[in-house]
Structure 1
Amino acid sequence: MKIVTQVKLLPEADQAAALRSTLRAVNNAAGWVSQIAFERGVPREYELRKHTYAELKARGLGAQAAQHTIKKVRDAYTVLKANIRAGNLGKEGSKRRRTAESKPIAFRPEAAQPYDDRCLSWQYDQQTVSIWTRSGRLKNISFVCSPDGLKTLQQYRKGESDLIERDGVFYLVATCEVPEAERYEPDGFIGVDLGIANIATASTGYMAAGRGLNRYRKRQLDLRRKLQKKRTKSAKRRLKARSRREQRHAANQNHIISKTIVTEAERTGRGLSLEELKGIRTRVRLRKPQRVALHSWAFSQLGDFIVYKAKRAGVPLVFVDPAYTSQTCAECGHVDKRNRVNQGLFICRGCGVVAHADRNASHNIAQRGENVWNAGRESRVPATP
């Protein structure tokens, strides 16, 4: 299982200047390579290398840096092609898709640059790194991270690491190959209902209310509107900073929620059952005031956090169809859209049971998860007479 670990670099002033100059040089070169790739119809990496490698070396990039720059550009076009094929940029002929297809991919000056073990080495005991720059190899650059992050780096780091700059601060994002824990046989399942009013509701009774997070986002939305009206450079800088701050806040909340859910499943020896919510933004129709809440909430991020934490802990996990989970009674199985009286109240028209709507849905998801798990274990081979 691949996860990423981020460390913060603490370079001296001259080291920071060298890192910044290197990032800008490689990303400027990536923009030039992107122009060549676009003009030549995005050839394969080997052919693109024949047209650009010598020029990149002449610009002062080392052999490995030049190779990584070419590969970064080719990978960017591969991702663009996949997004177009998946319809993420709209239908054929849409304005957004025409814009993406009509010009070369651009690279920001501070965009990430990959480093392999030939141009980056780690000294874990001293918590320093040695890294290639256009000014030569910089040694003994200190870094800081959490104790768990350092332990993960020491044991499982493998492959490339990306150097990035955010607001003048440099980070290294390392890829780690962490082995998955052996899954145990679950004693039942915990259903997790994901929503906006309540971010996550578990069938065990745990509920992560979204009131605080939604209030925080509304406040950030109001501040963004005020800054957008100013239309000054300083306002744009503050908008970027606030956007990243909001993303970090939401990610932190999702980490807390996912850890709580996975820990409870591991403690009780049960599995986890989640809704399959991919494509929800294209399926759900909402009024205009509700769209902001739907599109600003990280639906997939919380699910991804639960998935990788469950894999690390060996917790069995299944995905189920979320259709009618909010309209089905968990007690008698009666399905009626009128069962869902409002956002928080469920009253079954079949048996009369009264329950919290999200908790009722979480019990349905738990039951479906157990059915999916048992169906997967059943043998499809006919029994011999």
Structure 2
Amino acid sequence: MVELYIVFKKDEPKSYEPKGFIPVDLNENSVSVLIDGKPILLETNTKRITLGYEYRRKSMTTGKSSKDRDVKRKLKKLRERDKKADVRRKLAKLIVKEAYESSSAIILEDLPRNTPEHMVKDIRDSQLRLRIYRSAFSSMKNAIIEKAKEFGVPVILVNAAYSSTVCPIHGAKIIYQPDGGNAPRVGVCERGKREMA
């Protein structure tokens, strides 16, 4: 038997000076992206995947020990983690490719590792708590950062606090259209608007 190891060396692409920004907001069941001033909602279906697998898991273990060999084997065949990882990788690639093609930087919330604990501390609904714990916000953030490194796309991590009222880049106030317009929750940074004009 002969073993052959092949090693590939790939230079890390150099980061560029961004011409624009693509803000990304991570939610339980979707990822919101603002591209060229147009809000885009990318659905992850994490809620459906989480609840579907939870119901299957309950039906398999009802009345049986989770240490039983057959139950362990059946639980191993459930591939919830793989499906969620696949969705994360595909969304990360989609967002990073768009940023790369438009020479933009990606703006992400700087979420701590224990984000779910802070989110669920006042929630009593057990199903909602489960969905928040299993939505893996940090994993989505890390998937985007890893893919951005691969393409050389700059990523700016911002504090999520007050980010809907204060621009995380310029520190200026965000102005929303009084009549709501076609995108009522899309605001414009006062300073950024002046600099882009």
Q: TM-score range with shorter-chain normalisation? A: 0.7 to 0.9
Structure 2 match to 1:42: none
SS at match of 1:201: strand
SS at match of 2:32: strand
Structure 1: give runs of 5+ residues left out of the alignment.
1-14, 16-119, 125-153, 157-177, 335-347, 371-385
Q: Once the 2 structures are TM-superposed, how far is the Cα of residue 311 of structure 1 from its aligned partner?
A: 1.2
Specify which of 37, 46, 57 is matched with residue 213 of structure 1.
46
2:24 pairs with 1:195: no
Could you report, residue by residue, the CA deviation over 1:49-104 in whole angstroms, capped at 9, with x for unpaired residues?
A: xxxxxxxxxxxxxxxxxxxxxxxxxxxxxxxxxxxxxxxxxxxxxxxxxxxxxxxx
2:154 pairs with 1:316: yes
- Greater RCO, CA 8 A, separation 6+: 2
2:121 pairs with 1:287: no
Give the superposed CA RMSD: 2.9
Q: Once the 2 structures are TM-superposed, how far is the Cα of residue 123 of structure 1 from its aligned partner?
A: 3.9
1:274–1:319 contact (8 Å) kept in structure 2: yes
Q: Once the 2 structures are TM-superposed, how far is the Cα of residue 246 of structure 1 from its aligned partner?
A: 0.7
Give % identity: 26
SS at match of 2:12: coil
Alignment of 1:160-171 (within 5 A): none
Distance 2:117 2:52 in 1: 26
Moved over 2 A (4+): 120-124, 285-289, 350-357
Higher helix content, 1 or 2: 1
Structure 2 length as normaliser, TM-score?
A: 0.76
Structure 2: give runs of 5+ residues left out of the alignment.
168-172, 193-197
Structure 2 match to 1:238: 74
1:179–1:312 contact (8 Å) kept in structure 2: no
Structure 1 length as normaliser, TM-score?
A: 0.41
Distance 2:46 2:25 in 1: 17
Structure 2 match to 1:98: none
Q: Once the 2 structures are TM-superposed, how far is the Cα of residue 308 of structure 1 from its aligned partner?
A: 1.5
CA separation of 1:224/1:233 partners in 2, compared to 1, >3 Å: closer, same or farther? same
2:107–2:157 contact (8 Å) kept in structure 1: yes
Alignment of 1:263-342 (within 5 A): 263-278=97-112, 279-284=114-119, 285=121, 286-288=123-125, 289-326=127-164, 328=165, 333=174
Q: Once the 2 structures are TM-superposed, how far is the Cα of residue 217 of structure 1 from its aligned partner?
A: 2.1
Structure 2 match to 1:155: 8
Distance 2:85 2:132 in 1: 16
How many residue pairs get aligned? The number is 175
2:99–2:106 contact (8 Å) kept in structure 1: yes
Distance 2:15 2:40 in 1: 23
